[in-house]
Chain A
Amino acid sequence: MFMGYTLSELGSIFAMQAFAGLILFSVFVLMSLGLAIIFGQMGVINMAHGEFMILGAYMTYLTSQLFQSYLPGLYGIYFFVAMGVAFLVSGSLGMLVEWSMIRFLYKRPLDTLLATWGLSLIMQQAFRSIFGAREVGVELPEWMMGSLPVTDTIEVQINGLFVMGLTMLIAVAVYLLMFRSRWGLQVRAVVQNRTMAGAVGISTERVDRNTFGLGCGIAGIAGSAFTMIGSTGPTAGQLYIVDTFLVVVFGGAASLAGTIASAFTISQAQSTMEFFMSGSMAKVLTLLVVVGILMLRPEGLFVLKVRR
């Protein structure tokens, strides 16, 4: 499959595809960071995670519409506001869902899967009723358009760079929150031993609710990033849910670093192969390799060694 390209052409192809993969990587990372918290830490299989992302994307769309009609002068900064809105709306809905549904199911993980799948169907139909079945897109502000030439044959898009930088920031923030803050300590305590955590005075219910909300909120931010690379439709979230789960499982469910590493591997593999074969075959091959590796190494790439 490498026939017919010179070496330098191949280099450029790999660099450009790698960069295209990096945007996919950003969405994967943001999606799976949220899921790694919800699934890896709390053990809840949130099949509606994709819909929380799409909720964030629709919020971004609404914010951009509002800015366009009322504050056209400030359109350059709409994205930052949109991210906040997406985080808050997805996060609050997540907390509501946790309170009304998930908290009864902590002992039955497989049932959370069915219940959240039902939730995802309801959310999809709600999106369709509210925003219409047609896909919507946002207009990028002036400064995010265009691309930077790196060499003669390689160009990178500014919005891609921006999304990536943002992703890194959020990943670092999540890391600090989970591993360096008092709240993160409480979350990890509840995950490791719920009864003892409760006994030393941690309000496990509140921690659960906030953790679930945080995971959903990050999915909302992923939705904001998603608006830059794809158009938003009611069922767009479902396309990502399988990949996201594989990313989290592949990385070792409880490890944030593993999640990021596996998001990188999967997105890069897929995007590089996409150049040489059809998109569907690239996807099949990537997923098959991941499933194959998981069969050999079911605990994922990075394992948290905990005695249970």
Chain B
Amino acid sequence: MKPAIAPAFSLGLKDLIGVVILGLVLVVLLPLVLDPFRLNMVGKYLTYAFVAVGLVLCWGNAGILSLGQGVFFGLGGYCMAMYLKLEASTPEATKIQSTPGIPDFMDWNQLTELPFFWVPFKSLGLSLAAVVLVPAAFALIIAYALFKRRVGGVYFAIITQALAAIMTILIVGQQGYTGGINGITDLRTLHGWDIRTDSAKTLLYFVNAGLLIGVILLCQFVRRSKLGRILVAMRDKEDRVRFSGYDVASYKIFVFCFAAALAGVGGAMFTLQVGFMSPSFVGITPSIEMVIYTAVGGRLSLLGAVYGTLLVNWAKTSFSESFPELWLFGLGGLFIAVVLLFPNGLAGLYRAYVEPRLGSLFGRKGAEPKASPAPAE
């Protein structure tokens, strides 16, 4: 654990340029070069970027590795899916069921009325609030119980991983309430607006990209605030921060809940763009894959996390389309290579090799000595 301050607090202007470039890529470049199908796919990847950006704050800055981000992604996604499902299950649309007006999978599982926790999801406002609040509240319970007792590091990672396992088993097991292994499918409209058409998907892509950029700006604000500095200090010398009179647990709880809320937003956008939600996005494997997106992008770089997410998912799609056998070797190798060879991911490579050249190209601060990127943690 070396004090790695430099990468986290670079100049504001540089960050802003980075965000503008990312915005141009997402909003102008990609929609111009990709057909609607591929664009929708990029939109799907970008929903994971919400989780990855949250992990940068939580893991990169505060040193809390959560292996349960899929749970929050899933909670957000399920909240959205429940609203959409109820809207699709009007009494007219489901009149062939033995109990019209409830989602089809409930009818198949011999439920005769809507379970109580589904009722709030009839309202769009409540559902949208739930997308953020349910994951955050769940995270609050976990974080409060664990951080107040100073459970951290490895133990926290293992417990969150167990939670991801529990959540998957629970969702799969309670078929009548959650749709089971298939998840909540056959979603049609959002407040009367058909989300299945190409134009809706394109619009959703732009909404998603806009939200993501807003989230990145918000995270940059958090990182540059005093709070962000305390998080980094906590990661590097927790005891010293505690002895200086800060309540370390509260800061950890905040950042964990914040990351969970972001993951929830990502999950909701996922449901909207893909049109279903299932337990396969909740469990251990997706949760740990989300960590690798962050690690590939660079655990200290918000923008890197977005590029890392896009890169890994693009690689996954193109590899598993053409060489399904090789994909797992590739992904596994990527995990090992990122950890052993480039602990700061793409962002670290960029800082070490591209940035100095760019600087000399523009004749601006070209000779600025670059400290070699300190390996995080």
A residues apposed to B, CB below 8 Å? 43, 45, 101, 104-105, 107-111, 113-115, 117-122, 124-126, 129, 238, 242, 245-246, 249, 278, 280-281, 283-284, 287-288, 290-291, 294-295, 298
The reply to whether B336 and A101 form a contact with Cβ atoms under 8 Å apart is yes
- Listed A/B pairs (5) with beta-carbon separation below 8 Å: A109-B153, A117-B288, A120-B332, A121-B328, A122-B332
Closest to B295 in A: A114
User: How many residues belonging to B are interface residues under a CB distance threshold of 8 Å?
Assistant: 43
The reply to whether A113 and B173 form a contact with Cβ atoms under 8 Å apart is no
The reply to whether A242 and B162 form a contact with Cβ atoms under 8 Å apart is yes
Q: What's the Cα separation between A115 and B325 when bound, in Å?
A: 20
Give every chain B residue within 8 A of A284 (Cβ-Cβ). Answer: 166, 169-170, 173
Q: Taking A118-B334, A242-B161, A249-B158 as contacts, is the C-beta distance between A125 and B288 under 8 angstroms?
A: no
The reply to whether B158 and A288 form a contact with Cβ atoms under 8 Å apart is no
The reply to whether A45 and B157 form a contact with Cβ atoms under 8 Å apart is yes
Q: Taking A45-B154, A114-B291, A114-B292 as contacts, is the C-beta distance between A125 and B284 under 8 angstroms?
A: no
Give every chain B residue within 8 A of A117 (Cβ-Cβ). Answer: 288, 332, 335
Q: Nearest-CB distance from A211 to chain B (Å)?
A: 18
Please pick, from A104, A114, A125, A245, the residue contacting B158 in the complex, using a CB distance under 8 A: A245
Give every chain A residue within 8 A of B332 (Cβ-Cβ). Answer: 117-122, 125
Q: Nearest-CB distance from A148 to chain B (Å)?
A: 34
The reply to whether A110 and B161 form a contact with Cβ atoms under 8 Å apart is no
Give every chain B residue within 8 A of A105 (Cβ-Cβ). Answer: 339-340
B residues apposed to A, CB below 8 Å? 1, 65, 67, 145-146, 149-151, 153-155, 157-159, 161-163, 165-166, 169-170, 172-173, 284, 288, 291-292, 295, 325, 328-329, 331-336, 338-340, 343, 375, 377
Q: What's the Cα separation between A43 and B157 when bound, in Å?
A: 13
The reply to whether A291 and B328 form a contact with Cβ atoms under 8 Å apart is no
Q: Taking A122-B328, A125-B325 as contacts, is the C-beta distance between A281 and B173 under 8 angstroms?
A: yes
Closest to A234 in B: B328
The reply to whether A287 and B65 form a contact with Cβ atoms under 8 Å apart is no
Interface-centre pick from A113, A245, A249, A288 (highest chain B CB count, 10 A): A113
The reply to whether B339 and A125 form a contact with Cβ atoms under 8 Å apart is no
Give every chain A residue within 8 A of B339 (Cβ-Cβ). Answer: 105, 108, 111, 114-115, 118
The reply to whether A280 and B149 form a contact with Cβ atoms under 8 Å apart is no
Q: Nearest-CB distance from A43 to chain B (Å)?
A: 8
